């Protein structure tokens, strides 16, 4: 698990990228769990908690006005849609 200090020092765009990567890993983990190929089932909890922590830091930066250009936010939204649709 990543330390909170490390996440806090990341920029807004880095937080978005890291969150999207973790979401992909979590989805892959869930797929493996369904197929029965999981060595450590407690990783699901770790992934969810790390994603929640990143969401918290992202929201803090948004409230502080430290967001980036709308183009990057649009790209993040597209990545989110791709993750949903596979």
DSSP-assigned letters across all residues of the chain:
---HHHHHTS-HHHHHHHHHHHHHHHHHHHHHHHHT--S-TTHHHHHHHHHHHHHHHHHHHHHTT----HHHHHHHHHHHHHHHH-
> Domain span at residue 69?
4-85
37: domain CATH number is 1.10.287
- How confident is the model over 12-31, as pLDDT tens digits? 999 999 999 999 999 999 99
pLDDT at 47: 96
Number of domains the chain is built from: 1
Does pTM surpass 0.75?
Answer: no
- How confident is the model over 21-78, as pLDDT tens digits? 999 999 999 999 999 888 898 999 999 999 999 999 999 999 988 776 554 666 666 6
């Amino acid at each position: 698990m990543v330390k909170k200090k490390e996440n806090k020092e990341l920029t807004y765009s880095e937080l978005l990228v890291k969150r999207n990567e973790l979401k992909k890993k979590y989805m892959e983990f869930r797929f493996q769990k369904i197929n029965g190929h999981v060595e450590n089932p407690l990783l699901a909890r770790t992934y969810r908690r790390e994603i929640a922590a990143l969401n918290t830091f992202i929201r803090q930066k948004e409230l502080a006005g430290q967001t980036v250009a709308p183009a990057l936010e649009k790209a993040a939204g597209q990545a989110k849609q791709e993750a949903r649709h596979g």
